[in-house]
Each structure stands twice: as C-alpha cells, then as structure tokens.
Chain A
Amino acid sequence: MASVSMEYGLILAGILFTLGLAGVLVRRNLLFMLLSIEIMLNAAGLAFVVAGARWAQPDGQVIFLFILTLAAAEVSVGLALILQFYRHVKTLDADAADEMRG
C-alpha cells in the first residue's frame, strides 16, 4: 500500500489546526467560531490517525473515534449555548458579551 509519509500528514494537520485557531481568534460570529473549533478537532484527529498509521497501531484510530463523539457532544452543547446567547443579546457577535470585564 502506497503510503503518504508521516511528515506530510502532520504538516497538513498543523496547517488545518492553525487555520482553525486563526478562525477562532479572528472570527467574531459564534457559529463560525464553532466551525473553526471543529476544524481544530479534526486536525488533532488527523494527527492521531497519521501517527497510528506510521507505527501501525490501532490506537490512533480509536482516539479518532473518541474525538468524533467528543465533537458531536461539543457541537450539541455549543449550539444550545449559541441559541441561548442569541436570545439574550440578540446577536451572534462574541465580543458583545463582555459583561464579565474585570
């Protein structure tokens, strides 16, 4: 089986993670921030799968399954929070909710 070398896989995972992080930091819309977090999670999952393939261990794919369920739970909680947030402040701008300013 022709395999992609691990470095490429990890670099891709790194790029995806960076994109996701940049999305969280730059985007102000909560929905897009949630999407960016999903990308970051998937980047992490990709890194596990690549590492599992490299050492021919099933653990990497097992961890990915965990990340998948985690992501599902996170999205459901996140969406519920966003819904409440929208009702409360009538916007999806994350910076509008700075009531806890120190």
Chain B
Amino acid sequence: MLSLLWLIPALPFAGFTILALAGFRLSRRGVALIGVGSVGLSAFLTLVLGGSFLLSPPAGQAFTQTLWSWIDVAGFRPEIAFRLDALSLIMILVVTFVGFLIHLYSADFMIDEEGYSRFFAYMNLFVGAMLTLVLADNLLLLYLGWEGVGLCSYLLIGFWYREPENGRAARKAFIVTRVGDAAMAVGLFLLFAQLGTLQIQELMQRAPAQWAVDSGAAIAAAALLLGGAVGKSAQLPLQTWLPDAMAGPSPVSALIHAATMVTAGVYLIARTNVLFSLAPSVMSAVAIVGALTLLLAGFSALTQRDIKRVLAYSTISQIGYMFLALGVGAWSAAIFHFMTHAFFKALLFLGAGTIIIRLHHEHDMFKMGGLRREMPTTFWTFLIGSASLAAIPLLTAGFYSKDQILWSAWSSSAGSPWLWAAGLVGALLTSLYTFRMVFLTFYGEREPLVQELSPVPRLGVRVRLPLVVLAVLSVVGGLVDLPRTLGNLPLLSDFLHSVLPAANMAAEGVGTELLFQVIAGAVSLGGVYLAYLLILRRRQVVEGWTASPLGSALHRLWFAGWGFDWLYDTLFVRPYVWIARTNRRDVVDLFYEGLARLAEVLHGLLSRTQTGRVRWYAAGIALGAVVVIALAVLL
C-alpha cells in the first residue's frame, strides 16, 4: 500500500503536464476537472496512505521509497527517494487537503479569468513541488522542491502580468527569497564537504558523531540553513517580500503565502533538528528571530488598510510564533501551529477573496463595513477563522497551538521569560489587529460601496464548501493535541515523537500551566474587547492618536513595515542600480575602446599617404632608397 507513495507528488505533476501542454484546447470544465482532480486524487491517496501508516506502522516508523538514482558522480549519489514518516505525513496531509480545498475554491473563483488553464497548471506544479519538498529523502531533492515552489510563487504572484506592479512584486519575492536560498545552497555544500552525504537520515546520524556541540562547523551549517528558512518563511530580515506578494490572486495567497510554502522554512528546521540541537547559539537565534518578527509584523498589521496586507503581516507574525517554538526546542508545537495556521489562514484568505471579488476588487477595509448581512457565509466562516487566529480560548484550534508555544517559551530549558513576554504581547496584537479587521469589514456603518451592492446569488457550492470545511477544521483542528490541563491528550506530539524529540521542559506544576493558559486566554479576549472599543465605540480615540505627531510618525513607520523596504532600497537596490547605470557603457571596455580609437587615428594618418598616384609611390621608394643608402654609407 505504502508503495503508492510516489503517486502523491506525481499526480499534481501529471496535472501540470497535461494543462501546460494541452490546457488551451480544453474547456474550462475540463481544465477544472484536471486541475482540481489531480490534487483531489492526491489528497485521497494521502488519506489512504496515512490510514495504512497509522494502522500498521512500518519498521522504524518510516517508509522510504527509492525511485531511481538521480546523479552518480564520484561518490555523490543523490537519489529520487521519498520518505514517509510522522513529520512528512502531517505535512502532506495539510498540503494536499488544504491544497485541494483551495483548488476547488479556485475553480469557481477564477472562472472569469483569461489564464484559467495557466493558473491551474501553475497551481498543480506548485503542489507537486511542495510535496517533493516535504517528502524528499535527501537535501538535494528537498532543494529542488524548494526552488520549484519559489518558481511557482514567482509565476503566481505575477499571474496578472499586465500590471507592471505585479511583475515587480513577483521579482521582489523571487530575488529576496533567493538571498536566503543562496545561503542554504552554501549550507548544503558545507554539509556535503564535511559529512560526505546529503541523505537526511545519514546526515542526522553523522553530524552528532562528527561534530561536538557548539563546534564551528555545526554552527555554520545550522546558521546557513537558517538563512534559507528565513528567506522562504519571510522572517526578519528577509520578510519584506511577503506583503507585496499579495499582488497575486487570493487563492494563491491562501495556498502559497499562508498555508504551505512560507512554512517550508519551519519544516526545514524541524527536519534538520539534530543539526540545530548541535548549535544552541543558532537555536537561540531562531527563537529571537521568531520573537522579533512576530512583534514587528504584529505592529505593522495594526496599521494596514488593505485587508490582504493585514493577513500577510499576520502570516509573517504567525510564522514568527513557529520559529519561536523551534528556537526553544518545542518542535512538535511548531508543527502543530503550522497545521492550525494552515487551516485558519487559508480560510481567512479565501474569505477575503470572496469579499474582494464581491466589492469589485476593492481591498481597502475602510471602504467596507456592514458586510455582515450581505455575505453571511463569508461572515461566519471569516469570524471563525479570525477567532482561531486570535486564539480565543477553549473553542478554537489556534488557542491550543499558540498556547503550547507560549508555554514552551516559558518552561523549556531554552526558553526565557523574555521570549514568553514577546509571545504574549504578540498574542494581544494578534487579537487586536484580527478583530480590527473583522469589525472594519463586517460591522459598523455600511460604506457607500457596500450600499450600492446589488443582491447577487449566493456563493457557489465550490466556494462555500472549502470555506465551511476549513472553518470546521479551524475549530476541531486543535483537538488533536490537548494539553494536560485540558484533557491531556497529546496525540499529535506523541505521533511526532518518532521524528522530533520532545521539548526539554522544566518540571512545572499543572497549576502553573493552567495559570499561564488563563493569562493567554485573558490577553486574547482583552485584545478583542480593545478592538471592539477602539473601532466600534471610540473611533475618535484612535483618530486622536494617529493625529498626534508621535502617533502619526509611528503609524507611518508601522504602515511601511518598519521601513525595511526603504532601508534595503537605500542600502542595496539604489547603489546597485547606480552602479548598473554607471556601468551601462562598460567601464572596463573604455580602455580597449581607447586602444581601438588610437589605432583608428593612426590609420587615418597613414591612409593619407595612399594617394593612389603611382608617381608618389615611386618618389617614396626613391626617397627610402636614398635614406637607406645614406645610412649604410654614413654608419
């Protein structure tokens, strides 16, 4: 049964091939059937394989399928091999299921688009590459998937390529992530040079045998891999591309820039956790990067007007939580949060997509308002997704995963009160900006744009079904891992223990954990209440703050994402453009051009003597003979 593993990534690739080669001949129905069907089959197969994996676990809790050897050069022999274990099973379940729901949604959502088959071709290619990434048994194949998803991200951000701005956003995403990818490639070279293999399992055995804890090589390798993860997952300092990536269609934002691709960095770090355990200083760096990112992105999300940019900053911030969890050694908490985040963030993006389409491509939340009655399905599902994002206690999946991270940040041996405090402030910010978005969009006065809305038929079933299913998952998804204070049923963590070691928790009492959960819950509810007060009751208070000089300066800083774009523009882009412009005429070539010019001038002088008159030549010969003879006689 498990030997069908290769079909899971192969089906989306096959879908891509058909759509790319023959997509323009197919009807929209056919395109949707192939595009959605390939991922749907893949999801079904994943479910079957997952069931068989759980019922009769293979030896060693892992199944490896080697298809063929890719390259065989002087002892370097990466194979096309897929490995199914607890970690990759969770990942492919989320990727194929959320991917399938988003494809289903897109079949309706993108129906009026010109590049319908192109869209599904790219989306299928993305799912295939993402599955290759998570199933890869060696780092080179993982890197292939890694670059594949980067390529699809570029193609899909620039899907509406007629707008130059979208092309710019696509290039920005590609180039900024490439910075991280370059670091990761160097990391792979280092690992191969030092340990002689890229096969992940062998690496994880050889690394502790060969490298001491905190040795230079281990730190360098872990730091370089972290560089790749930071780029892909839009963490500090390479987070600037994600808000601009919202130029793509909403399903793309949901699939690539919320649920799956941007969490590839989290997966990479969890996959190579042995390496990171050997470098405690890099682990702390991961935690600090996560904590800083979640705070900075949270503040930025507070000030955005564009609903998708709020969600983009929120994604950056939530991945910051995952990095925080990884940094304190709570590997399974990070994967847990990845899973719940994939559910509720995909839901929010899909919901935002329906709003944007309904309002004729209006992204500005301040022009929405009062949509609650106009779009009931979107409203209820969006509300559930927001509640999960804001981690409303007990009811939502987001609460369970985020609470696990906060608790680990406090009680893990690598944790610290500072990291916990950052997470807690981040939780307040999260519920504040999330419900600011909800209140601005669905409550309050109906803005003119909303009043003009003509009643249209309800959303199609292909749009409603993904919304409802994801909403259900955003609620019940948390039940797979209940903390010991609330049922003590850590199914997911236990399942992942065969791959990811347990966090090294200090022995704290159950009472303390309960206290922390109460604090986290109170903070999250407090954020919602604060948002209610500031947006719906006392809007003038906020307006007063933003009008004050300090407030408006902060607002501008946060709105621009802490000025990172400006900084990189000044530090890298503009000098580079200046050098390029200066060098347009090729500075080095000036010397050679001068040489050529000199030869030309001399040639011009000499060609004057070529009069074409035979008598002049004769005179020249005579004169030369006289000179030569004179010299011969005189010397």
Contacts and interface: CB of A to CB of B under 8 A. Distances in A.
B622 A25 contact: yes
A28 interface: yes
A24 B607 CA distance: 23
Interface stretch (A3-11, A47-55, A68-76, A94-102): A94-102
A31 to B, nearest CB: 14
A33 B619 CA distance: 13
B613 interface: yes
B608 interface: yes
Interface in B577-617: 606-615
A95 B622 contact: no
A67 interface: no
Contacts of A100: 610, 612
A92 interface: no
B615 A94 contact: yes
Nearest to B609: A102
Contacts, number: 32
Nearest to B608: A102
> How many residues of B sit at the interface, in one of the four size bands?
10 to 19
Contacts of A82: none
A99 B622 contact: no
A86 to B, nearest CB: 15
B608 A94 contact: no
Interface residues of A, number: 13
B610 A102 contact: yes
A66 B610 CA distance: 33
Q: For chain B, what secondary structure do more than half of its interface residues adopt (helix, strand, loop), or is it mixed? A: helix
A25 B619 contact: yes
A24 B610 contact: no
B613 A102 contact: no
B611 A24 contact: no
Contacts of B74: none
A100 B611 CA distance: 7
Contacts of B612: 97-102
Interface centre among A28, A98, A102 (most CB of B within 10 A): A102
Contact of B613 (A21, A24, A95): A95
20 contacts: A21-B622, A24-B615, A25-B615, A25-B619, A25-B622, A28-B615, A94-B613, A94-B614, A95-B613, A95-B615, A97-B612, A97-B614, A99-B612, A100-B612, A101-B611, A102-B606, A102-B607, A102-B610, A102-B611, A102-B612
Interface of B: 606-615, 618-619, 622
Given A95-B613, A97-B614, 11 more contacts: A24-B618, A25-B615, A25-B618, A25-B619, A33-B615, A94-B613, A95-B615, A101-B611, A101-B612, A102-B607, A102-B612
